[in-house]
Structure 1
Amino acid sequence: MTLRSRFTLFTVFWLIFILILYNIFVYFFVIRVTTRGELQLLANKADLVIETLRQQGMEGIEDPKLLSDLYNFNEMMRIVTGSVKVVNMVGSDEQLLSIPPQMQSFYLSETRQIGGQRVLYLSVPFFEQGHLIGTVEAARRLTVLDSYLQILVGALSVTSIGAIVFAIFGTYWFTTRLTGPIGQMVQTMREIDRSGKLYRVKLNGREESVELQQMVRAFNQMIDRLDRTIEQQKHFVADASHELKTPLTVISSYADMLKRWGRDNVEVRDEAIEAIAKETERLQKLIRSMLTLAEAEQDSWLSISRFDVAIVVRDLSEVLGTTFQRDIRVHSDGQSVMMRADKDKIRQLLMILIDNAIKYSKEPIDIRIRINKQGIKLEVTDYGIGIQECDIPYMFERFYRVDEARHRSTGGSGLGLSIAKKIVDLHDGKVEVYSKPGHGTTISIQLPRNGKVSST
C-alpha cells in the first residue's frame, strides 16, 4: 500500500470516528436539553394547578376549568385523589388517556414509548397539613420534538458525508503534493541507476513545506557531493596513472638498456641499477602515500588519545635534525602542552611539514606551539625559496606541483600536503599558509580546543 493510500485511509478513519462521537454527543445533548424544556413546561402547569387548589382551600378539584385553561392539544392532564380515582381530566388523545392512573407521594418524571412515539409523563403529589390529597398527572407527546430530531439527524448525516467526501479528496490532493518531491526523488534515483549519470531534483514553483524543501536540498547536496567525489576520483586516477607511468617507463627503459648493453658495459649497468633503484624507491613512496589517502577515508582511521604534543614535536625535531644535519628550533608556550587527538597522525602531519621545510630551505627551521582561545596552533616556518601567491590555494591538492623540476629533484610524490590537509580536516582543524618568494614559508595549523587542550 502506498504512503498516499495509507495517509488517506488513516485520515478518513479518524475523521469518521470523530464525526460519529460528535454526532452522538450532539444528538443526545439536544434530546436532553429539549426534553428538559418540555418537562419544565409540564411541571409549571402542574405547579400552577396545585397552587390554584391551595388558594381555593382545596375546593374545586373537579372543576373542568381548572385543567382546561392549561390544556394543549398533544397533552393529557388529570387529578387523581387518594382512592386512585380520576376526579378531573382533560385531553383528546385516547392513548394518553389510557395511561393507568397512579397515586404516589413522590415526584416522578419519565419518558415512555406509546404507539411508537415518545411520551413525557409527569406525576406531582400535593398535600394538605401533611396528608397526601392527590396527584396531578400530565403526559405530553414529543411529536414536534422528534420531527426536529429527525431533521437534526438528517442534517448531521449530510454534513458528515460531505465532510468525509471532502476529506477523501482533500487528503488525496494534499498527499499528492506531499509525496510529489518523494516521487521525483525515487524517479531520479531510478534514472541514475539506469543511466549511471547523476541528476538533481528540481523544486517546483509551488509552495512546498519547509521539511520537503530541506529533504530535496539534502538530496541535491548529496548528489553534488557524489558528483564532486566522482570527479575527484577521476582526477586522482588520471594523476595517479600519470605518476605511476613515469617511474615505470624509466624502469622499463633502463631494464631494456641492461638487456642490450649492460652485460658487457659496467658503466651502463651501474647507471641502470642506480636509476632503477631510485625510481623503485620513488614508486614505493607514491604507493604508500596513495594507500594512506585511501585509509584516511575510513571512519576508524583515527585513534584518539591524550598526549603531550610538545614532547612529540621535540622528539621529532631532534630525530629529523640529526638525520638531515639541520637546525630545527622548537618554541613552546609551556613545557607541557596536553591535547586529545591521534598521536601518530599528528606526528605524521608534523613530519610532512618539517620534511617539506627541509627540502625547500637551507636555513634553520622554526616550530612554534601556541595556545589560544580556539585551541592549539602549530606553526612550521622555513626561510627558503617561498611560494608564489597564485600557487598557495592549490598546494594541498593531490599531485599538484609548484615547480615540476623542483618536485623531481626532491623526489616527492605530490601527496604529502594532501595527506597533511586530510589529517587536519579529520581533527576539525584549519590550515593557513603564509609565504613570500625568497623569504620563506609558514604553515599554520589550528586545532580546535573543545575542552581537549590544556597547558601546564
Structure 2
Amino acid sequence: MRLKSKIYLYTSVLFAILLTAVCISVYMLFGRMAIGDETRRIEAEALLIADRVASSASEIAPDDLLRAYVPADGMLRVVRPDGTSLPAVTNGDGDPFITEAYEYREDLNNEHLSGGGHGYIRVSVPVIWSDGEVRSVQISRSIADTEGRLAVLRTVLALVALLAMVPAILASGVLANRIIRPISALTGTMSDIRQSGTFRQIETGQKPGDELAEMERTFNEMIALLETNFERQERFVSDASHELKTPLTIIESYANLLRRRGRERPEVFDEAVDAILSESVRMRELTERLLQSARRPEADTLQLTEADLAKCVRESASVISKAYGRKVEVESAEFVTVTTDEAKVRQLLFILLDNARKYSEEKIEVETLGGKGLPAVIRVKDRGVGIPEAELPKVFDRFYRVDSSRTRQTGGSGLGLSLAKDIADVLNIAIRIDSEVGRGTTVTLTFAPEGIPPRVSEKEAGRYGLLRRSARHDGRLEQRKEEEE
C-alpha cells in the first residue's frame, strides 16, 4: 500500500474511532443523567405517597386507599414481611408491571427494571402499617418518555457522526496530499537526477520550522554537496589529464631516447636522466596540489591559536634557504602575534617562498610588520622577471601561467597562487600582488585585526579543500635537497 493511501486510511479510521467514542460517551453520560433525574423524582414522589398511605391505612379500605394514590402511568403495591402483598393497583398503563417479580424490602430502595418492552423505576419505601407491622410500599413508574428521548439522541448522534465523517475523509485526503507533496517532489527530483545526470533542488513551498521544510532543506544541502563534490571530481579528472599529459610525454620520450642511444652516448644518458627526474618531481608536486584542490571540504578544519608570525616567517625562510641553498633575508619585529591557524599560514608562506625561488635568481626578502593593535602584514619580495600589469588579475586563476615556456622550465603548474588565494580567503587574509616586469614581484598578506571572523564555521573554512601539510612539505624540501646534492 502506498504511503498516501496509508495516511488517508489511518487518519480516516482514527477519526471514525474518535468520533464514535465521543458519541458513545455523550450518549452514556446523557442517559445516566436523565435516568438519575427520573429516579430521584420518582423516589421523592414515592416517599410522599408512602407517608400518606401509611397515615390513612386505618381509616380507608386498602383497595380504595391504594387506588387513590396510584400513579397515572404506574403501579402501587404493599408487600408484607412474609413476601405476600395486597392486590396491586394500576391505572391501566401500569398493568404490565403486575406480573413482574417482587420481594419485601426492609429499607429505602430503588431499581431500574424493564417489563412490557419498556423500562420502569421501582421504589420501595418501608412504612409502619396500622397494625404496627412494617410493610414495604412499592411504587413502579414507566420511564418510556425518557427512553424515547434517549432513542432520539441516539439517532441524532448517529446522523451527526455520519455527516462529520464526510469532511473528515476529505480532510484526510488534503492532509495526505500535503504530506506526500514534498516527498513526491523529492522522489521526482531524484528520478530526474538519475535519468538526466544533472543536479536539481526541490521547492515545495513549505514554511520554515516543520519537519517537511527541514527535509527539503536537508535534501537541497545534500544535492549542493553532491554537486560540489561531482564538480571537484570532474575538475580533478580534467586537470589531471591536462596537466599530467606533458610530463608523461616528456618522460616517455626520454625513456625511448635512453633505450636507443643511452648506452653509446653518455651525454644523452645524463640529459635523459636529469629530464626524467625533473619531470617526476614536477609530477609529484602537481599531483599533490591537484589532490589538495579536489579534496572534500568537510575533511578540513581550522585550529585557531595565538600564533607568532615572526617565528613562522623565520622558520619557513630557514627551511627554504637550507633546502635550495637560496638566500632569504628576514626583517621582522621580535613578536607579531595574531589569532589564526598556524599550520595554514606556514603552508601559505611555503607557496609564496617557493614561487619567489622559482622565478628569481637573487635573494628573497621577507618583511613582517604590525602587532600591538595594528594589522599584521607579511611581504614576500623577489627580484625576478616580474609579471606584466595586464596579467595580474589572472594570476589567481587555476592553471593560469604568464609564460608557459618559462613555467615549464621552472616547474610551475599554475596551481600555487590559486591555492594561496584559497588559503588566504579561509584565514580572512587580504592578499595582493604588486609586480613590475624585469624588477620583481611583491606579495603582501594583510591579516584582519580581529582574526578569523566568528561567522566562518569549520565547514565553511574547509570549503576550498586545503591540506594541512606544513610538516610534510618540510620533509619534502629536505628530501629534495638530499637528491639534488
| TM-score normalized by the length of structure 1 | 0.74
Flag the 1:387–1:82 CA change in 2: closer, same or farther, 3 A. farther
Q: CA RMSD in A?
A: 4.7
Distance in 2 (CA, whole Å) between partners of 1:61 and 1:40 is 29
Distance in 1 (CA, whole Å) between partners of 2:152 and 2:214 is 50
Contact 1:200/1:223 (<8 A) preserved? yes
Flag the 1:371–1:406 CA change in 2: closer, same or farther, 3 A. farther
| Identity, % of aligned positions | 29
**Secondary structure in structure 1 of the residue aligned to 2:113:** strand
- Offset at residue 96 of structure 1 (A): 1.3
**Secondary structure in structure 2 of the residue aligned to 1:238:** helix
1:106-121 correspondence to structure 2 within 5 Å: 106-121=107-122
Distance in 1 (CA, whole Å) between partners of 2:334 and 2:111 is 99
- Offset at residue 105 of structure 1 (A): 3.5
- Residue of structure 2 equivalent to 1:382: 380
Contact 2:88/2:98 (<8 A) preserved? no
- Residue of structure 1 equivalent to 2:296: 297
1:212-251 correspondence to structure 2 within 5 Å: 212-251=212-251
- Residue of structure 2 equivalent to 1:76: 75
**Secondary structure in structure 2 of the residue aligned to 1:327:** strand
Q: Deviations over 1:266-289 (max 9, x none)?
A: 877766665554334323321232
**Secondary structure in structure 2 of the residue aligned to 1:76:** strand
Flag the 1:371–1:234 CA change in 2: closer, same or farther, 3 A. farther
**Secondary structure in structure 1 of the residue aligned to 2:282:** helix
1:4-403 correspondence to structure 2 within 5 Å: 4-50=4-50, 52=52, 62=62, 64=64, 68=68, 71-73=71-73, 75-80=74-79, 85-86=85-86, 89-92=89-92, 93-100=94-101, 102-126=103-127, 134-201=135-202, 203=204, 211-251=211-251, 274-294=274-294, 296-297=295-296, 313-322=313-322, 323-331=325-333, 333=335, 347-356=346-355, 364-367=365-368, 379-383=377-381, 395=396, 397-401=397-401
**Secondary structure in structure 2 of the residue aligned to 1:188:** helix
Contact 1:332/1:369 (<8 A) preserved? no
- Residue of structure 2 equivalent to 1:442: 444
**Secondary structure in structure 2 of the residue aligned to 1:324:** coil
**Secondary structure in structure 2 of the residue aligned to 1:26:** helix
Distance in 2 (CA, whole Å) between partners of 1:200 and 1:301 is 26
Write the letter of the residue equivalent to 2:351.
Answer: I
Flag the 1:128–1:196 CA change in 2: closer, same or farther, 3 A. same
- Residue of structure 2 equivalent to 1:430: 428
Flag the 1:367–1:45 CA change in 2: closer, same or farther, 3 A. same
Q: Deviations over 1:164-213 (max 9, x none)?
A: 45434432332123212312322332232234333444547x98995434
Q: Deviations over 1:211-269 (max 9, x none)?
A: 43453354344434444443444344333333223334445566677789988888777
Distance in 2 (CA, whole Å) between partners of 1:315 and 1:245 is 36
- Ranges in structure 1 where 5+ consecutive residues have no aligned partner: none
Q: Deviations over 1:46-84 (max 9, x none)?
A: 2332565688798658585887577233x2234556776
Flag the 1:234–1:299 CA change in 2: closer, same or farther, 3 A. closer
Number of residues paired by the alignment? 437
Distance in 2 (CA, whole Å) between partners of 1:100 and 1:250 is 120
- Ranges in structure 2 where 5+ consecutive residues have no aligned partner: 459-485
Distance in 1 (CA, whole Å) between partners of 2:203 and 2:339 is 50
Distance in 2 (CA, whole Å) between partners of 1:98 and 1:29 is 32
Distance in 2 (CA, whole Å) between partners of 1:180 and 1:99 is 66
Distance in 2 (CA, whole Å) between partners of 1:150 and 1:332 is 100
Write the letter of the residue equivalent to 2:45.
Answer: K
Flag the 1:390–1:265 CA change in 2: closer, same or farther, 3 A. closer
Contact 1:8/1:171 (<8 A) preserved? yes
Higher relative contact order (CA 8 A, sep 6+): 2
